[in-house]
Amino acid sequence: MSSLAPSRAAATASLLWALADDDFVLGFADSEWTGIAPHLEEDVAMSSMAQDELGHAAAYYRLLADLIDGDPDQLAYDRPASAFRHCRLVDHGRGDWARTMARRWLYDTANAVRLEALADSSDRPLAELVGKVRREESYHLAHDEAWIERLAGHPGEPRQRLIEALELVGPDAPSALAPLADEPALLAAGVLPVGGAELEARWLARLGPVLERTGLRLPPPAPAATAPATARSGHGPDFDALWSEFTSVRRLDPLATW
């Protein structure tokens, strides 16, 4: 059990839930491409990135388990769908390849900004883990940008599909960085060194050059994606289906090991 002050521990836990659930849900959704990605090398790349996200999620659940005296597998698999705290952006299902790439690019850029700030977190175990996560994520960002430019650069169906994908998932993109209800406590304790508003500004600055080069536009935010009360709740049918899939073995046999 943690020796942190109760309010700080609770706030840190809410941050870890967000980090863990984001990567866990995105990792599972992207793993659906294994075997059916557009080409073989992409299959390897996408499967690797999905595996990375699940690995990062497992490491965050481990920190959370240490903090609240739990078990990482139980935290990940024994919750009802409604208890997940992932952001609305990753709640969208994988859709077609353009949607998957739009979702990944928007999420990875937002996550990079968030992790850059957390590298200076006053929570040592979190800051140390984030240092390692960031090195791995640099490969993902390079991959995402290559695909966005490639799809955007082909007039006709590829570009059209990407535009439609951005129109669909773009309004929910700010949900990844929307302030948590516990943000004041996180900022006061230095666990989160930079607030959500500043993180969003940094994220938009990072998207800017790519949007400009490609002539793409990011639609305005959906109100639900920016409010702390709704940015990480109200999951849709895509997530219900995903939850049903990733908990199926656990529900069938809770004691199964391998």
Partner 1 sequence: MTTDLGPARSELRSGASAPPAVAAASDGAVGRAWRILAGIVDPEIPAISIVELGIVGDVRYAGNWLEIELLPTFIGCPALELVQATIGQRLEPLRLDPGLAIEQVVVTTSYAQPWTAERISPAGRAALRASGFAPPELTAAEALPPRATCPYCGSRRTILENAFGPTRCRSIHYCTDCRQPFEQFKDG
Q: Is 241 exposed, middle or buried (0-12, 13-18, 19+ CB in 10 A)?
A: exposed
Decide: 21 and 29 in contact? Cβ < 8 Å.
no
* Piece in contact with partner 1 (CB under 8 A), picked from 44-52, 79-87, 159-167, 175-183: 44-52
Residue 44 near partner 1 by CB under 8 A: yes
Residue 180 main-chain phi, psi, to 5 deg: -80, 160
Q: Round the CA-based radius of gyration of the chain to a whole number and report it.
A: 18
CA distance 26 to 52: 10
Q: Nearest approach, Cβ of 157 to partner 1 (angstroms)?
A: 25
Contact 127, 121 (CB under 8 A): yes
Task: Identify whether the C-beta of residue 187 lies closer than 8 Å to the C-beta of residue 236.
Answer: no
| Smallest distance, partner 1 to C-beta of residue 56, A | 6
Phi, psi of 223 (to 5 degrees): -55, -40
Minimum separation from the CB atom of position 22 to partner 1 (A): 15
Give the residue with the Cβ less far from partner 1, 59 or 90.
59
> Contacting partner 1 (CB under 8 A), which of 56, 92, 114, 202?
56
Task: Decide whether 16 or 54 has the Cβ nearer to partner 1.
Answer: 54
Angle between helices 124-152 and 157-169 (to 10 degrees): 140
Site string for partner 1, 110-129 (x = CB under 8 A): ------------------xx
Tokens 């002539």 locate to 215
* Out of 22, 52, 183, 200, the residue judged to bind partner 1 by CB under 8 A: 52
Q: Which is nearer to partner 1, 131 or 208 (CB)?
A: 131
Of positions 81, 142, 188, 241, contacts partner 1 by CB under 8 A = 142
User: Residues 1, 3, 35, 135: which binds partner 1 (CB under 8 A)?
Assistant: 135
- Does 138 participate in binding partner 1 (rule CB under 8 A)? yes
Sequence-ordered list of residues with C-beta below 8 angstroms from that of 236, at least 6 positions apart, any chain:
91, 92
Regarding 87 and contact with partner 1 (CB under 8 A), the answer is: no
User: Using CA of residue 172, residue 206, residue 183, residue 3, what is the dihedral sign?
Assistant: positive
Instruction: State yes or no: residue 49 binds partner 1 (CB under 8 A).
Output: yes
Contact 46, 53 (CB under 8 A): no
Given the complex with partner 1, which of 132 and 217 has the nearer CB atom?
132
Least spacing, CB of residue 122 vs partner 1, in Å: 15
Candidates 48, 214, 233, 247; binder of partner 1 (CB under 8 A) is 48
Least distance in Å: CB of 99 to partner 1?
21
List C-alpha distances in Å: 8 to 3, 11, 123, 234.
Answer: 10, 5, 10, 26
Per CB under 8 A, residues contacting partner 1 are 41, 44-45, 47-49, 51-56, 58-59, 128-129, 131-133, 135-136, 138-139, 142-143
